Amino acid sequence: MSADRFREFETFVCVVDTGSFSAASRKLDCTPSAVSKLIDRMENRLGVRLLHRTSRTLALTQDGRNFHQAAIRALEAVNEAEASLLHADAPVTGLLRVHTTLNFAQQQLARILPDFLALNPQLRIEFILHSDAVDLIAADIDLSLQVGPVTNPSLVARRIATTQWLLCASPEYLQRAGTPRHPADLADHNCLNFLPGTYRSVWPMRTQGEQSVETTRLEATGNVASNSDNFLRVLACQGMGIARLAAFHIAPDLRAGTLRTVLADWLPEDREPVFAVFQSRRNLNLRVKVFVKFLEERLSRSTDWGLGSVAGDQSKP
């Protein structure tokens, strides 16, 4: 990419991010008229309108939205190529602050963290562990690791792994209460669930078993609900009912036999993403880049989180 083309892309993305020519000019240390002329030049060269302009607002056209995403990817590629040379031999130092859930940190990060710190001995990491949403700027967080959809459009989400959700219960519970063979059977079971009305409280199920592509959403009920997946896991291990939990969370219990999966053939095939979430792709510090790359390399191998056949329906004869 030529220097002029890079400047065009950078200016266009800055205009979109800041929302005005004047704000972009302050950030780029140039005049608003220079920014306006550069955008005009881009539109004339491309033969499309990228921005709708009024006296008060700017809005992306459909072509502008497509070009904006492509421009971001192009700038990232250039910046990453330069960073790979500039930082190839530079040690990673300083403090990295990471937010995630206690369960993800215990079940997944703890087992690979020694390897990462052995590779980066001059780096320090602080983990902020809770399931609540966090304001990355206000809390001075470099990186958040989240399972499931990221709803804040101002944040950048980079997929680093995939997980699935499984229905599970202890062998003692299944022996006492019976094993469900159809989603309708859950009405006769004690379902340990997340708080009513929350994202995790509805259980998606196939409508016709293994070959069905359609799903229905069940409002599973029982005598205990909680906002803590770890609490639900402990209750399930103690034989109190059936819970729906992430594979990475219950993998040790399934391998140990303290939990068994049920209705596996009735679960949707879709997998849920695990995201690394941060404020901006541009000017991302080396600590975050190195940690995210390490997580991608190590966690991307964990699509079944080491379960293998254990993730299948263990309740079948």
Rounded CA gap, 214 and 216, in Å? 7
Residue 300 CB neighbours (<10 A): 13
Domain containing residue 78: 3-86
Q: What is the pLDDT of residues 36-57, one digit of tens each?
A: 999 999 999 999 999 988 767 7
Task: Tell how strand 191-194 and strand 242-246 pair up.
Answer: parallel
Query: Do 52 and 106 fall within a single domain?
Result: no
In this structure, of 47-61, 70-84, 174-188, 295-309, the range with the lowest mean pLDDT score is 295-309
pLDDT digits (tens, 9 = 90+) for 260-289: 999 998 988 667 788 999 886 655 678 888
Mean of the per-residue pLDDT values for the chain?
84
Output the DSSP codes for 110-139. Answer: HHHHHHHHHH-TTEEEEEEE-SS---TTTT
Q: What is the CATH number of the domain that holds 286?
A: 3.40.190.10
Please tell me whether residues 143 and 290 are part of one structural domain. Answer: yes
Domain shared by 101 and 218, yes or no? no
pTM for the whole structure: 0.61
Residue 240: inside a domain, yes or no?
A: yes
5-9, 33-37, 142-146, 250-254: lowest mean pLDDT where? 5-9
DSSP per-residue codes, 204-263: EEESSSTT---EEEEE---S-EES-HHHHHHHHHTTS-EEEEEHHHHHHHHHHTSSEEE-
Same domain, 79 and 12: yes
- Of the listed ranges 125-134, 155-164, 261-270, 299-308, the least confidently predicted one is 299-308
Domain identity same for 78 and 108: no
Q: What is the CATH number of the domain that holds 23?
A: 1.10.10.10
- Which residue, of 24, 57, 86, is where some domain finishes? 86
The pLDDT tens digits for 56-85 are 778 889 999 899 888 888 877 776 666 555
Helices (H) and strands (E) in the chain, counts: 10, 14
Confidence of residue 152 (pLDDT cuts 50, 70, 90): confident
Q: What is the pLDDT of residue 295?
A: 92
